[in-house]
Amino acid sequence: MKKYSVLSVDSNTDYLFFVPITCAFWKKLGYHPYVVLVDNNDISPDILNLILTSAEKVGAHINHFKHIEGYRTCNVAQISRLFAAADPLFNDDDYLITDDMDKFVISDKWFNQQDFSKDIHIFDPDETNYTRLKIGNIGMKAKIWKEVIGISDKSLRENLSDCLSKMLSKESTWDQGWNLDEYILTKRVFESKYYPNNCQMFERGGNQYGMRNGRIDRGAWKETFMQCISSSVIDVHLHRDPYKDEIWADTKIIMSLVFSELERAYFEGYKQKFVELV
């Protein structure tokens, strides 16, 4: 069994920037990063080349995915994670865990605590009072993903196109499409034969800032940064201005928890190249 982290991204540069770094964090935890990169021919060739070569260097697999016309690229990217198991790259026994691109994962203990006698692993269900599942983080073997989501023997593109045509009107507003991935995920898991008895849930709890325990969060960046750095960090919900000097300085401190000096120097060079191209 191989373990994979399933991520996605479109042409939004704030998210594109994180691709190789986020993938490198997952790699450190023993997961093979898999990224659906939705391209609508609106990514600069130079930026695209930098992303692809840097991601390859850290061991990520990039599915350079041609956009499905008629929908927002962000919606295609979000929902693609649910159908990743359709990719022939994966064996039925491979383990796939989903997450967002704008998160760094830090804690090996937190992300590798699964009891594999259970079929579905749900991280932090108490954040939504057990009423809605969030894409970060749900883990299952590829075979279970196919069964729960209803993935056919068709390609990833065909499965995703079928889902979009049924679930999202091309005239839908941004708000109507934004949480569709989590709506589908919640409905399919809750209605599956696995929920709740064959699910393992990892409660996390919140802190005094209204954020999740162990998370450095952009909603209270300085407060949670100081609190978590001085105690323990599970993950990081990344700042909207990732290359600003003060935020990048904080980000480098976070990176020092996981990466060597040489690795951090590589990402410093990557950041400088990215900013020049943007």
Q: Write out pLDDT tens, residues 85-120.
A: 999 999 999 999 999 999 999 999 999 999 999 999
Name the pLDDT band for 23 (thresholds 50, 70, 90): very high
Residue 174 has pLDDT above 80, yes or no: no
Cβ–Cβ < 8 Å for 135, 78: yes
**Nearest CA-CA partner of 267 in 72, 44, 22:** 22
Residue 230's pLDDT is what? 92
Q: Give residues with Cβ within 8 angstroms of 266, minimum separation 6.
A: 57
Cβ–Cβ < 8 Å for 13, 278: yes
> For the chain, what percent of residues have pLDDT higher than 70?
100
Residue 251's pLDDT is what? 96
Q: Give residues with Cβ within 8 angstroms of 1, minimum separation 6.
A: 93, 94, 95, 116, 141
> For the chain, what percent of residues have pLDDT higher than 90?
92
Cβ–Cβ < 8 Å for 241, 107: no
b/e per residue, 87-108, with b = 16+ CB within 10 A? bebbeeebbbbbbbbbbbbbbe
Residue 176 has pLDDT above 90, yes or no: no
DSSP H helices, 58-141, are 73-80, 108-111
* Structure confidence by residue, pLDDT tens digits, 40-87: 999 999 999 999 999 999 999 999 999 999 999 999 999 999 999 999
Kind plus residue range of the DSSP H or E element containing 55: helix 45-57
Mean pLDDT over each residue of the chain, to the nearest integer: 96
Residue 170's pLDDT is what? 77
Integer Cα distance of 159 and 80 in angstroms: 9
Q: Give residues with Cβ within 8 angstroms of 119, minimum separation 6.
A: 140, 141, 144, 194, 198, 199
Residue 241's pLDDT is what? 82
Tokens of 126: 């108490």
Name the pLDDT band for 244 (thresholds 50, 70, 90): confident
Distance of CA 1 to CAs 93, 121, 135, Å? Answer: 6, 16, 22
Question: What's the rounded mean pLDDT across residues 160-165?
Answer: 96
Residue 169's pLDDT is what? 82
Residue 102's pLDDT is what? 97
Question: What's the rounded mean pLDDT across residues 238-267?
Answer: 94
Residue 211 three-state SS? coil
Name the pLDDT band for 171 (thresholds 50, 70, 90): confident
The reported pTM is 0.97
